[in-house]
Amino acid sequence: MLIVPEKFIADLVSAEDAFAAVEATFAAMAREEACNFPVVREALGEGRQYGFKSGLDRAGGMLGVKAGGYFPGNAGKGIPNHQSTVYLFDPDTGRPTAMVGGNLLTALRTAAASAISIDRLARRDAKVLGMVGAGHQAAFQLRAAARARGFEKVIAWNLHPEMLAKLGEVAAELGLPFEAVPLERMVEADVIVTITSSPAATLMAAHVAPGTHLACMGTDTRGKQEVEPALLARARVFTDEVAQSVTIGEAQHAVAAGLIAAGDITPIGAVIAGLAEARMSKDEITLFDGTGVGLQDLAVAGAAVRRAKERGLGEKVEV
Ligand code: NAD
């Protein structure tokens, strides 16, 4: 099997590669050529989470698992809070084929998912991007969103305002004016990305104007919550996978409250595959519940392995 260490990933997989790989995977899921297996996620105590996301993509010839989790103490040690590794197997034989550093890949595939949702669902004339969150993932989210629409301004809110300066630097890099605002001013945004580890709703329905697209990316575990459930009742809700959306995604709360049902949620892959309508009017609120599926991880890891083989990078080992 080939080991592709974390340090090579930045040179092997671009944001554009991740976008293409994840988009193809979402479409394969909608055509039922690829399926995710149930997520295992356990609390280790002191805020640490560990688990496995896995799946099989028959069309792409990918079988594998991402093992990893969230370790909130890491930031103080100078390493990302998310730590993960992707393992790929031959779908015909079960033999391991690759072990790939999964930290940057996780950020790239998560940002790709929200960018795909913006590309497919946001109004074409979207000008103001609202960011809720300013942690490790937020910078990737901002860069990916900026590729999907011609934004002219970024407004941002974070519970810990001292973290916003770093996000402002990313906006400056992209040539976009940046303003830290109170949550109430999110009503000025055409697209809002939420990417926090919040345990309770911070963005309320009253903070969102008609015609907005939201990419809610932070809620990937039971008990996390970023937006008021009433907002999901007001919106057309899309997701990467309905089963995850209603159990570990943002929709878990609106479903539990009886405001929406699983049948009200459209897989984004169905839009990509031409099986479902995207935005239907300029005033409609669209909301993408990005829960993060194992197949996204396999797709970007597969891209990394292909590039590594082309360039003779990585280490081959017998297992
Ligand atoms: P991080 O630790 O670097 O940043 C955490 C962010 O959440 C910061 O903006 C922080 O200010 C904010 N925050 C912390 N506590 C909060 C609270 N009580 N209320 C509101 N905001 C709070 O984490 P990160 O790597 O940027 O990840 C952010 C979230 O995204 C996490 O919940 C993570 O699990 C999730 N995530 C989801 C996916 C996916 O595929 N959907 C992938 C990766 C990460």
Confidence of residue 60 (pLDDT cuts 50, 70, 90): confident
Whether ligand 1 lies within 6 angstroms of the CB of 194 is answered as no
Residue 179 lies in a domain: yes
CATH number of the domain where residue 56 is located:
3.30.1780.10
Write down the pLDDT at residue 258.
Answer: 98
Residue 274 placed within a domain = yes
Q: In this prediction, what percent of the chain has a pLDDT beyond 70? A: 100
**pLDDT number for residue 26:** 98
d(Cα 54, Cα 37) in Å, to the nearest integer?
A: 5
Same domain for 156 and 35: no
Least-confidence region, from 41-50, 60-69, 127-136: 41-50
- The answer for residues whose C-beta is within 8 angstroms of residue 291's C-beta and 6 or more apart is 219, 220, 239, 240, 241, 244, 245, 248, 249, 250
- The verdict on residue 111 lying in a domain is no
Question: How far apart are the C-alpha atoms of 44 and 230, rounded to whole Å?
Answer: 32
- CA–centroid distance, 47 to ligand 1, in Å, is 12
> Residue 27: is its pLDDT beyond 90?
yes
Residues 82 and 191 in one domain: no
Q: Is residue 112 part of a domain?
A: no
In terms of domains, do 39 and 128 share one? no
- In a shared domain, residues 224 and 193: yes
Residue 60 lies in a domain: yes
**DSSP for 256-307, written as a single string:** HTTS--GGGEEEHHHHHTTSS----STT--EEEE----HHHHHHHHHHHHHH
**Does the residue 36 lie in any domain?**
yes
Overall number of domains in the chain: 2
Same structural domain, 36 and 92: yes
Tokens read off for 29:
């899921």
CATH for 167: 3.40.50.720
Q: 134: Cβ below 6 Å to ligand 1?
A: yes
177 and 272 co-located in one domain = yes
Region 80-85 average pLDDT: 90
Residues with active-site annotation: 66
Q: What is the pLDDT of residues 279-315, one digit of tens each?
A: 999 999 999 999 999 999 999 999 999 999 999 999 9
Pocket test for ligand 1, best of 41, 163, 195, 295 (most atoms within 8 A of CB): 195
97 & 183 share domain: no
Residues 38 and 165 in one domain: no
The pLDDT tens digits of the residues spanning 85-104 come to 999 999 999 999 999 999 99
CA 317 to chain centroid:
32
State which residues form the domain around 258: 118-292
Give the pLDDT confidence score for residue 103 in this predicted structure: 95
- What is the pLDDT at residue 10? 98
pLDDT tens digits for range 101-115:
999 999 999 999 999
* Ligand 1 centroid to residue 224 C-alpha, Å: 10
pTM value is: 0.96
How large a percentage of the chain has pLDDT more than 90?
Answer: 94
